[in-house]
Amino acid sequence: MSEPVARLLIELEDITPRIWRRVDVPTSITLATLHEVIQAVMRWEYAHLYEFRVGERIYGEPLPGMESPSRRVYKANGIRLNKLIDHGVDRFLYVYDFGDDWRHRVIIEGVRDSDADTDYPVFVEGARRAPPEDVGGLPGFEGFLEAIGNNRHPQHAELLEWAGGAFDSEDIERREIELDLAMLAEFRRRVRAGHRSRAMKKTS
């Protein structure tokens, strides 16, 4: 029996031209795993906290002493995407790095049966490279692009060096995205195989 797969559109808010990705993911993944998928397709570096905002609820990594009666954080590994879909959710927000405050709009564009010979998640398409980590939010990113695009800018050389010597805003690093997602898919496949093996041993 094939497993349902959701096609997601992920796009950074408030940035023009748009920075976006499409990816196919199993609907059975948790939001914690979806966090890993978004990190991979946006080429983020798992360096900061995150949360999903779904309606009035917040999912993430609850931290002792950081919650209040008006702001409860539910565990992202305790809710699956298919549960949200079953409740009619078709879009939500993913926030990464509470300092730079990168807000990603996540839209569930459709659900279909998976292909039997494909391991998911799978990258589909996208455009434009995401901002570097710790660039200073949207104002910092705009200033960064201005500086690296003008070799007469006083911070041109400094910011290029800080970015690793180059930053191509059109290069989404597709090969790296596909490799990272393939690793996630392989890990998921092994976990599922392990569960099936243990279940067979219990019934034999």
> Quick one: three-class SS letters along the chain?
CCCEEEEEEEEECCCCCCCEEEEEEECCCEHHHHHHHHHHHHCCCCCCCEEEEECCEEEECCCCCCCECCECEEEHHHCEHHHHHHCCCCEEEEEECCCCCEEEEEEEEEEEECCCCCCCCEEEEEECCCCCCCCCHHHHHHHHHHHHCCCCCCCHHHHHHHCCCCCCCCCCCHHHHHHHHHHHHHHHHHHHHHHHHHHHHHHC
Q: What is the pLDDT of residue 32?
A: 98
Quote the Cα angle for 147-150-155, to 5°: 40
Q: What is the pLDDT of residue 66?
A: 65
Distance of alpha carbon 161 from alpha carbon 167, whole angstroms: 10
Is the peptide bond preceding residue 26 cis, with omega within 30 degrees of 0?
A: no
Q: What is the pLDDT of residue 1?
A: 58
Q: What is the pLDDT of residue 202?
A: 64
Q: What is the pLDDT of residue 69?
A: 72
pTM: 0.91
Task: List beta partners, residue 24.
Answer: 7, 122
Profile the chain (204 residues) by mean pLDDT over runs of 10 residues: 91 97 98 98 97 96 75 95 98 98 98 94 98 97 97 96 95 97 90 61 60
Q: What is the pLDDT of residue 189?
A: 81
Distance of alpha carbon 113 from alpha carbon 122, whole angstroms: 14
**Of 98, 100, 32, residue with least CA distance to 66:** 98
Say how many C-beta atoms besides its own lie within 10 A of residue 28's C-beta. Answer: 17
Q: What is the pLDDT of residue 40?
A: 98
Q: What is the pLDDT of residue 67?
A: 64
CATH of 4-130+172-203, one of 3.40.920.10, 3.40.140.10, 3.60.40.10, 3.10.290.30: 3.10.290.30
